[in-house]
Amino acid sequence: MKNKNILYIVIPCYNEEAVLKETTKRLKKKMKSLMEQKIISKKSKVMYVNDGSKDKTWDLIEEIHKKEEYFTGITLSCNKGHQNALLAGLMTAKNYADIIISMDADLQDDIEVIEEMLEKHKEGVEMVYGVRSSRKKDTFFKKITAEGFYKFMKGMGVNIVYNHADYRLASKKVLDELENYQEVNLFLRGIFPLIGFPSEIVYYERHERFAGVSKYPLKKMLNFAWDGITSFSIKPLRFITGLGFIITILSVLVLFYSLIVKIIGSAISGWTFIVCSIWLVGGIEMLSLGIIGEYIGKIYNETKRRPRYIIAKNLEEE
Ligand code: UDP
Ligand code: MG
């Protein structure tokens, strides 16, 4: 029987020179122990994806690849963003591996649950989601915004796993299916549940980033949430239709009101009301147009079918 347990751990890295050495040290230990226990094949590797870093990240990755047996990497032509870098890594890794785990470079995701993930996969599920059991280590602000994000997404009808980011195990089978999802506005944590194979959850404590700074400032986070909603849900469009409906009914009432005012003969006093109405309706119209424009923008980007990432170099193919 063919051995089906080559594991690749895919890690997107953007300006991560401060953490790579430590990450490599800890993962090396983990890989060795997994191999010794014969849980994974000796052909297993950690694959770093350099997402157009401006610091020494890629030099470090090349150096690590030369020195360490179980480490490899690819580099993208320029910075393409976390999700695209992750996709590039997943699509490359699946050519060599049977099982692929993705995680962040800063080891905020607890690598001690990898065994549990592999165990669950062995028992027969194709996907295992890593879910944060608590957010004790997060700042108050991060906790509120992040948990609000998941709740809001759910409310908007996007099917995502609560408190699950991009720490997950997926089999090659799942990733072969992922390849058919050709969207440019990539929101991976929304796509995996859509692929829909049986899945399991493992819980872990999220650690603090041990070095370097977050590459997700508030602006990027808001963009990410907005992309997640508009790529997966047409609820905002429905909301506009609903709003238009309500305003139409209201305008009939306003018509009656203004007729009554006219009959009574004190029409001039309605001036304030008219000015307010114009602003209100104008505002709503503009907002609605904006949301519609957002979707048209998405269609525009999707129809171009541009590649989502370009791999400049793959250390596996040298
Ligand atoms: N990342 C990336 N490209 C980017 C931004 C981030 O590859 O444009 C990587 C980053 O190196 C890290 C992961 O995505 O491995 C998550 O980023 P970070 O830890 O900064 O996010 P946070 O944990 O603060 O949400
Ligand atoms: Mg992080």
Per-residue pLDDT for 81 more than 90?
yes
Element of type H or E holding 210:
none
Q: Residue 152 corresponds to which tokens in the numbers above? A: 């809001």
Q: Averaged over 166-172, what is the pLDDT?
A: 96
Atom of ligand 1 nearest to the CA of 12: 7
Alpha carbon distance 182, 194 (integer Å): 14
Q: Averaged over 255-259, what is the pLDDT?
A: 80
Q: Residue 282 corresponds to which tokens in the numbers above? A: 């104008």
Domain ranges of the chain: 7-232+308-317, 235-304
Higher pLDDT: 276 or 302? It is: 302
Q: What is the pTM of this model?
A: 0.86
Establish whether residue 206 lines the binding site of ligand 1, counting it when its CB lies within 6 angstroms of any ligand atom.
Answer: no
pLDDT for residue 183:
87
Atom of ligand 1 nearest to the CA of 14: 11
**10-57 pLDDT tens trace:** 999 999 999 999 999 999 999 999 999 999 999 999 999 999 999 999
Per-residue pLDDT for 269 more than 70?
no
Alpha carbon distance 119, 71 (integer Å): 23
In CATH, the architecture of 7-232+308-317 is Alpha-Beta Complex (3.90)
Residue tagged 């990898």 (tokens): 114
Per-residue CA distances from 12 to 48, 51, 78 (Å): 6, 7, 13
Establish whether residue 89 lines the binding site of ligand 1, counting it when its CB lies within 6 angstroms of any ligand atom.
Answer: no
Instruction: Name the closest ligand to CA 82.
Output: 1
Q: Residue 9 corresponds to which tokens in the numbers above? A: 């751990």
Alpha carbon distance 225, 150 (integer Å): 9
